[in-house]
Amino acid sequence: MTTKYDTILVLDFGGQYCHLIGRRIRENSIYSEIVPHDISPEEITALKEKFNVKGLILSGGPSSVCEPNAPKIHPRLLEVDLPILGLCYGHQLLAQAAGGIVEPATSKEYGITQVTVDKPIGVLEGLNYKEQVWMSHGDTVMVSPPDFESLAHTDSSPVAAFRHKTKPIYGIQWHPEVIHTEKGMFILQNFIFKICKAQANWQMEDLIEKMIKEIQTETENGNTIIGLSGGIDSSVATAIAAQALGDKLTAVFVDHGLMREGEPEAISETFQKFPINFIVANVQERFMNKLKGIIDPEKKRKVIGEEFIRVFEEIANKSGAEYLIQGTIYPDRIESGFKKNSDKIKSHHNVAGLPEKIKFKKILEPLRDLYKDEVRKVAIMLDLPKEIVNRQPFPGPGLAVRVIGELTDEKVRIAKKADKIVREEIENNDFAVNLWQYFAVVTDTKATGVKGDARAYGYVVAVRAMESREAMTASFAKIPYNVLEKISTRIANEIPQVTRVVYDVTHKPPATIEWE
C-alpha cells in the first residue's frame, strides 16, 4: 500500500463475528486488520510502519475466561498507548486482566436484551437510558476493576459496560457489530471517530489495488489457474486476477453436472466474452462416478473438493500453471472451522474440502476477508455484468448438497426441474430482489400421494427461501401463500416422481442455509 491509512486492529479471539467487526469498520471508510489475539506491544509498534494504528478492538470468542487454557491478551497489552475496546469475551478479558471479578453466569444471556445505560459517556455517548442490544455470553463481569467505572447494566449483568477512569479503555458485554444491536454502528463510530480520532481515508478501490498487487507478488506474474463457477465470488476474483495477470491467467469452469438448469450455457456465454483464457471442463460422468454410494454430506463435500483440485491440476499440467486462485470469501472460511478457536460447521468445498496433497505451489484467496455484500460492491466497481452482480449465491458442490442422500441421475434431474420452478415463480414477484437465496431440496424421504385416481409414492421436495445480509445469520422468507401454492402445484404436477412439497421455516441459526 502506498498511503498509510488510519487503522483499527481487531484482536481475534475466535468469535464467529470477529470479521464482522472488521467489515463494520471498513463500512466507515476506516481500514482494519484482523490480528492474532496475543499480539505483543512490540508487534503493534512494528505494524505502525505500514499502518497508522489508531486503536484496538478485542473481539468476542467462544471460550470462557474462567478456563485455564482460554486465549488471553498479551500480558503487557494494556501498556500500549492506544484506545482499546473489548467486546463480549474481550470485555471479560479486560475486566480479568485489570483485576475485576468475572464469574460464569448462572443464566446465559443470549439474543436480544434490554440494557440500561447508567452513564451515556465515551463509547456510549448519545445512547438512550434503555437500548436494545444483542448478547451472547456465558461469563459475566460482576465487579469492575479498580480504576474502572461501570457504565451500563442488564438484569443479569451488573457491569455490562465499563471504562477506565483516566485512559481510553472501554469494555462492553454486547455485540455492537451484530445488526440486532440497534445503535451498534453508532457505538463503533463513537469509538473509532471520537475516542480513536481516526480519519476516514480508506476506500474499497484501495482494496482492489491491494488485491491486484498481492496476486502479482504471490504468483511472481507466473501462469495461474482460477476456478470459475460463474458465481459472484469467483467472477470477481477472476476479474481482479485478469487485471493482475492478463493472459497468464486461465479460468476453468468445471461443469460437474450439478449446476442449475441452463447455467453452464449461461456462464459460458458470459465468460467467453471476457479477454481471458476460458476453458470448460466437461466432467459430469467423472463426478457422478466418484459420488456413487456416498451419503454422508461431509464426505460428499470432500470428494467434490478433491475432484475439483484434480481437474485443475490436470489442466495446469498442460498449461504449465503453478498457482491456483479461488474465490473463497470470509464466511466460507469461518464455517469451515479454519481458526483454532472456532467450531467447524461444514466443509465449504474450496476450503476444508481440499485434499492434503496438492500439486500447486500456492493457492491464493484474494477475497478471503470479504463478505458477500462487499464482494457485490467490488463487482459493481469492476463493472461486471448485472446478471453476475445479482446472481444468487450457489454453493461450489452445487446440487450435490441439495439432493439428500446418495446422488442418482433421477434425483439430480428432479432437483434441476424443481429448482427451475422455484426460481421462475419467485422471480415473477418484486420481493425476489430482497431474497438472499431461494431453491429446492430433494429430500431422501418418500411420501404417499394420489395422482389422478391412483396411489402414488414419491419424493418429498423442500422449498427454501432466505433473507440475509451476509449469510452468517439468515431468516426464512415469509413469502405469500399464493406464491408457495403455485410453486407446490407446479412441482407436484410437472415432476411425476414428487408427491409432496414442504416449505422450510427454520432460521439460521439453528439451521444452516443449505440442507447439507
Q: Which residues participate in catalysis according to the annotation? A: 88, 175, 177
Q: Mind spelling out the 3-state secondary structure of 7-62?
A: EEEEEECCCCCHHHHHHHHHCCCCEEEEEECCCCHHHHHHHCCCCEEEEEEECCCC
Which C-beta is closer to ligand XMP: that of 90 or that of 396?
Answer: 396
Place of cell 484467496: 365
Beta strands at 6-12 and 31-36: parallel, antiparallel or unpaired: parallel
232-245 vs 204-219: helix crossing angle, rounded to 10: 60
- Burial of 199: CB neighbours in 10 Å, binned 0-12, 13-18, 19+: middle
Which C-beta is closer to ligand XMP: that of 195 or that of 237?
Answer: 237
Which C-beta is closer to ligand XMP: that of 346 or that of 500?
Answer: 346
State the minimum distance, in angstroms, from the CB of residue 472 to ligand XMP.
Answer: 8
Count of all residues that appear for the chain in the document: 516
The contacts of residue 128 (CB under 8 Å, 6+ apart) are: 117, 120
Grid cell, residue 385, equals: 455484468
* 8-state DSSP, 403: B
- Rule CB under 6 A: which residues touch ligand XMP? 332, 335, 346, 348-349, 393, 395-397, 437, 471, 508, 512-514
Which C-beta is closer to ligand XMP: that of 199 or that of 473?
Answer: 473
State the minimum distance, in angstroms, from the CB of residue 227 to ligand XMP.
Answer: 10
State the minimum distance, in angstroms, from the CB of residue 467 to ligand XMP.
Answer: 12
C-alpha closest to that of 133 among 180, 191, 173: 180
Grid cell, residue 48, equals: 505502525
State the minimum distance, in angstroms, from the CB of residue 220 to ligand XMP.
Answer: 27
State the minimum distance, in angstroms, from the CB of residue 64 to ligand XMP.
Answer: 26
Do 95 and 47 meet the contact criterion of CB atoms below 8 Å apart? no
Which C-beta is closer to ligand XMP: that of 165 or that of 344?
Answer: 344
